[in-house]
Structure 1
Amino acid sequence: MRIGGRLWLAGLLLIDRMFGTRLAINEVARRRQRLATAKAQLADIQAELKRLSELVEQANVELCLFYLRRRQLLIPEQWLFFQTTDEDEERALEMLIAHLVKSHLATVEIQE
């Protein structure tokens, strides 16, 4: 708790003792309620983040599959062979490995 909050609570405790009120207890209850609300909002945000992350990963997998289908249509005899000397194909291969191989949806064979 910050110093201002501590001073505020100490002042409320002093007023409670002097006048027999319940200001400090009410303030603590209000802060606990705000904390519970913030925790609930955090849980909602985390759930939404998880859902969006899964959606992005699904989109990445679909993008990889579209890329492979395009390669199959353009170069049917060599669509699964990548030339690592070509910078564009190297990046595409890294993308495919990151989204298909690491999630165990595909495997890679290296041929020299």
Structure 2
Amino acid sequence: AYDHPCGSRRLRQALQGYLWRARTVRCDPEQIVIVNGSQQGLDLCARLLLDPGDSFVIEDPCYRMARQVFASTGATPVPVEVDEHGMQTEQLAGLAARLAYATPSHQFPL
């Protein structure tokens, strides 16, 4: 028998509890989607959030595969530099990007 397309309900319920305890994130199990890996998750986000002609903000340097999957939708990357504190948010003023991709706890590849 096949499981739910979003993943095992028991796993999503366990993650709901973990997210609340560890990160104080309130969510329902129905809002959690289990994917097979980061690339599948990025692909789902890209296809849901970006259309051809949109732009997306991405850290520079960045995870190359993230940039590639977002660009595969026909959207245009807008690189924003990072420093020891992360993305230089002052560079975001005036941008009309549809999506921003950041790795706030560990810049990749730095």
TM bracket, shorter-chain basis = under 0.3
> Which of these two proteins has the greater Rg computed from alpha carbons?
1
Between structures 1 and 2, the one with greater strand share: 2
Between structures 1 and 2, the one with greater helix share: 1
**Which structure would you say has the larger RCO, counting Cα contacts within 8 Å and 6 or more residues apart?**
2
